[in-house]
Amino acid sequence: EAGVTQFPSHSVIEKGQTVTLRCDPISGHDNLYWYRRVMGKEIKFLLHFVKESKQDESGMPNNRFLAERTGGTYSTLKVQPAELEDSGVYFCASSQGWAGEAFFGQGTRLTVV
Amino acid sequence: RKEVEQDPGPFNVPEGATVAFNCTYSNSASQSFFWYRQDCRKEPKLLMSVYSSGNEDGRFTAQLNRASQYISLLIRDSKLSDSATYLCAALSGGSYIPTFGRGTSLIVHP
């Protein structure tokens, strides 16, 4: 069974540019989460989808971040325009039901220069 | 106060040693807990779930103390391959969102 996959694995962009991260959850997992880890800090929640609906986006830093989940399948996270402080590793995770045993993708390491 | 707190370490132990980490949580409504293992530059991987008093899987034992609001992870007979960061996560009843601690770094040396 395929796990959670994320693309790209690395991205280096200049301040002011736009970047779109993609996540393909485990098939059948209705819950999809985006997290971010800034160096030396804990993994912080960004938002949660249940199928195609945003259940909770309280962790989104600001309106430069836009997440979508088309048809309840894959999800994208767009950062526009990117700022230096957006650098970090963006993890996507998915889970089945409410139990919260989330499975993580390998992450996208974003560097804004 | 952070919702989930962990001693970042590093814990530096010899092979074969027994080591234990604690993770404290502030939300008394938390009902489910998880230990994840994260290797350098890799994604967190679920190691163990804790729903009641504890769980055991081989050399790994997790225990939950609701009165003191902490969970622990005990690793017996440490292996070099156990070197990693161990993340604790807590899930409140009715919430779908695990909250993570910063992780505890473990280094097992020969």
Beta partners for residue A89, in sequence order: A37, A109
Task: List, for residues B80-105, the tens digit of each pLDDT value.
Answer: 999 999 999 998 766 777 889 999 99
Most B CBs within 10 A among A33, A38, A43, A96, hence the mutation to make, goes to A43
Across A86-90, A99-103, B15-19, B77-81, least confident range: A99-103
Please indicate whether, in this complex, the C-beta atoms of B4 and A42 are within 8 angstroms of each other: yes
Q: What distance in Å separates residue A111's CA from the closest CA in chain B?
A: 14
Phi, psi (rounded to 5 degrees) for B16? 90, -10
- Reduce the DSSP state of residue B81 to 3 states and report it: helix
Q: Residue A99 pLDDT > 60, yes or no?
A: no
Query: In terms of Cα–Cα distance, which of B107, B98, B89 is closest to B6?
Result: B89
Contacts of B99 in chain A (CB under 8 A): 45
B74 class by beta-carbon count within 10 Å (0-12 exposed, 13-18 middle, 19+ buried):
middle
B12 membership: H or E segment, kind and range: strand B11-14
